[in-house]
Amino acid sequence: MKMLVIGGAGYIGSHVAREFLDAGHQVCVFDNLSSGTLENLFPEADFVEGDILDQAALSHVFSQGFDGIVHLAALKDPGGSMQMPDLYAENNITGTINILNAALKANVLSIVFSSSASVYGAPQYIPIDEEHPTNPESFYGFTKLTIDHLLQWFDRITDIRYASLRYFNACGYDMQGRIKGIEKNSTNLLPRIMEVAVGRSRAIEIYGNDYPDTIDGTCVRDYIHVNDLATAHILALEYIVKHRKSLVVNLGSEKGYSVAEMVEAVRAITGQPIPVIQAGRRPGDPSISIASSKKALEVLGWSPRYSELENIVKSMWEVYQ
């Protein structure tokens, strides 16, 4: 198939583009390089620099004709979204509307969307499945949920079919070492720990060490290797092309690691001390968040292959050091 990967120069997008190329598909990357890097592009893929807020640029790239789209372009810092909701609404929601309109006009009717576990908000039960209530606690999560609702309506009243993939905590780097571009300005835990390991930051702040229902008092999260995420995008696209049915699935490892465990794992693998600063809890941080990915296994035949903690940390350290 001929695929348009929107946001394909970014951290997750570059791994998705690589996966489609490895599977023998044609790939065109559309990216404004605000968080992506030229280093993450591949010579086998076409590249068009452009922004999803630029309707003319979208119309131009869609005129090349595609069998499907992967949409990964978004602002994604939950904390930043609470301070700049106007920017997040414009980039995430308006940008997606522009993509959907361009797709309809060009008759590109299969879309894989990069959603997020943030749509669920505070867990009411663990593990979190797709039937869990959606009640986001950040404006970022709200934008992802709003896009899910937009996709549901486009599915209902147009011929567009979609897969909404609700990632838990994406991490790691390509297991074959082919992607070297470090994610810009990441606020995620493991990149911040790696910044300390290489001496670019003084210490890692741990927000809360007094959660009573975790192994060591620090938050527990579900970490999924980015190669595993990338594989799911191909399986999801193949599903909607074959069945002409839309779907929503969680993508997680179904395992939980605490913040303190992640710090210790990086210390053990890198040999670096990783100083820690204890800070208070952040509003909206649940103590535990772990996925149920049962539906992804049943519907797509997907399960994680690389999401063991050692694989995650080693693949990241190889890029950062």
Residue 300 lies in a domain: no
Query: 165 with 236: CB under 8 angstroms?
Result: yes
Identify the domain containing residue 204 by its residue range.
189-221+254-292+306-320
* One-letter identity of residue 28: C
Mean pLDDT of 7-21: 98
Closest CA to 66 of 227, 241, 249: 241
Q: Are strands 223-225 and 169-171 parallel, antiparallel or unpaired?
A: parallel
* Structural domains in the chain (count): 2
Q: Give the domain CATH number at 14.
A: 3.40.50.720
Among this protein's residues, is 120 annotated catalytic? no
Residue 51 lies in a domain: yes
Residue 177 Rama label (left phi>0; alpha psi -120 to 50; beta): left
Catalytic residue selected from 88, 140, 162, 223: 140
Residue 181 lies in a domain: no
For the entire predicted model, the pTM comes to: 0.96
Indicate if 196 and 129 belong to the same structural domain.
no
Indicate if 141 and 15 belong to the same structural domain.
yes
Q: Are strands 169-171 and 257-258 parallel, antiparallel or unpaired?
A: unpaired
Residue 297 lies in a domain: no
Tell me: the pLDDT tens digits for 262-305?
999 999 999 999 999 999 998 878 999 999 999 999 999 999 99
Q: Is the pLDDT of residue 125 over 90?
A: yes
Indicate if 118 and 242 belong to the same structural domain.
yes
Q: Give the domain CATH number at 279.
A: 3.90.25.10
Mean pLDDT of 22-32: 98
Tell me: the pLDDT tens digits for 226-257?
999 999 999 999 999 999 999 999 999 999 99
Indicate if 43 and 143 belong to the same structural domain.
yes
Q: What is the pLDDT of residue 62?
A: 98
Indicate if 46 and 160 belong to the same structural domain.
yes
Which letter, b or e, does each residue of 28-40 get, where b requires 16 or more Cβ atoms within 10 Å of its Cβ?
bbbbbbebbbeeb
Task: Kindly indicate the confidence band of residue 185, based on its pLDDT and cuts at 50, 70 and 90.
Answer: confident
Which letter, b or e, does each residue of 84-118 get, where b requires 16 or more Cβ atoms within 10 Å of its Cβ?
eeeebbebbbebbebbbebbeebebbbbbbbbbbb
Indicate if 74 and 214 belong to the same structural domain.
no
Q: What is the pLDDT of residue 268?
A: 97
Residue 301 lies in a domain: no
Rg of the Cα trace of the chain? 19
